[in-house]
A and B are shown apart, each in its own frame.
Chain A
Amino acid sequence: MSVILKTEKLRVEFANREFLKSVKVALSSLDLEVNAGEVFGFLGPNGAGKTTAINVLLGFVPPKSGAAYLFGIDVRQPIARQRIGYLPEMTYYYKFLTAEELLRFYAKIFGVPRKEADKRIDQLLKLVELEQVRKRPIKTYSKGMQQRVGLAQALINKPDLLILDEPTSGLDPLGRMKVREIIQRLKNEGKTVFFSSHELGEVETVCDRVAIIHQGELKTVGRVTDIIEKHHGNLEKAFLDIVGYQPQTAS
């Protein structure tokens, strides 16, 4: 199975605002591999380094040391992002554009020919149920609608790898169901999905493998079933065990 996403001893540091501490280590020697065609969950508590890792993969943040590759290309090259789709946690897009204009803009950047782009835009707007409002500016959209626009723009180039940062955050149950369906459909098409989430129930349902990260360190990686079996419970219990959560007993 080919490796789509790979990190090698990835280390990311930020300047620390605390007194007498020069740097804050956001990621410490992260080694990760995601194979083609799998749905990979990236879990961890808040501040664990999930978004930082995704930012490195997308070229937003340069690593202090180590490397990251997408399709075998160093993530610092813009061409590495030609075959990926990215849905950020907070979906903000150009408010003065309509959904259709936004998708056309991104299609142009991907080099999608005009006719093909028109076809895809129609399909995607239908998929995310925004066909009726395609000509309205995005500033008139609700949060859920903006999230769906985000999903559409992440799929405009028919990506081989989809990177989703908390894709169901802020969505109602119907919206979450829709996202799960889309992930499942992509998996059936042989696409690779890499997403971070706090919704462990969802992760347990859709993911083939997961990685759990805590305080910048990779704690475990493996098949969901294997991890659950190892910790004799569900994924939530396994997660809590791995991050070292100690319940406070009532005095």
Chain B
Amino acid sequence: MNSPRPFFLLFIALLIFCFGLAADLQPQFQSLQNDRHQSNNFFSLLLGDSSRIFANDFFVKADAYYHSGYYPTIFDNNSAFQTPHMAEDTGAIASHNQGEETTFMGPPRDWIDSFGRNFIPNRHTHLDEGGPTDDLSKSSEVREILPWLELSADLDPKDIRTYIVTTFWLRTKLNRVPEAEQVLREGLRNNPNDPQLLFELGRIYFENYHDSARARNIWEAALRSWARQARGVPQSERLKLNNENFDDRFIFEQLQTNLAQLEEKAGNLDAAIEHWQQAKLASPNPEEVQKHITDLELKQLVPDVLAPATP
């Protein structure tokens, strides 16, 4: 029996049987699936919760790239690198760094250590300030941190600081505004209505696209989202200066400040004053804010008076 026909027919029959069985079982499987939380992220499927550890590692890797490889290991004193500098420089992440960042390695422990330091990056530099060559024309080489940030975001889509930091560098140093917007929208897909992400998106529309109306809508949506995150905590408590949640207070202040500036620019002084009043509640310098409010009120009364600079 050397003819391949019977095997071929058997193969076809098995194929039909498998497809039929799959089609028959699909509805039952669907109903099972709906009872379980499904992740459509490849990495979380593959790595589970450990993907967040990897995400943090790659976030720190981006900082190592920001320093052109001059970075502490677990054996060195890393107190000056608790908060990644490339995130700290965006102004959106609170710094927990202490100590001298140029001397984390300390003095050489022995001749081998001393000799080995000639073969590793041994100077503190930032990529956006020229890197190891101190050549400011090469500041755009800060792009080199982006792959690690992108990977970090893929591994932990819930970490919004990755999106914020990525957007900052794309928008400010690399002049890639559409890409920055894309990052934020991706972040919002994974973290719907997050106030920080909405704030950054509003900045793009206000500062880069000069679309004040859209920016206003987005920032107001961010404020509403911020308010919804109260979880029973009164606003006054959330805005206290000694509140440990710096980010919570900071984003409220940022939103109110930027809305105030937007309204000022649009000539809506009433709305601007209202926002400045709110910003004063969260500002670490309420006197300065009050001074500016007073100036604006004066301006309302006497339009010819030049408004002083905003705090």
A touching B, CB within 8 angstroms: no
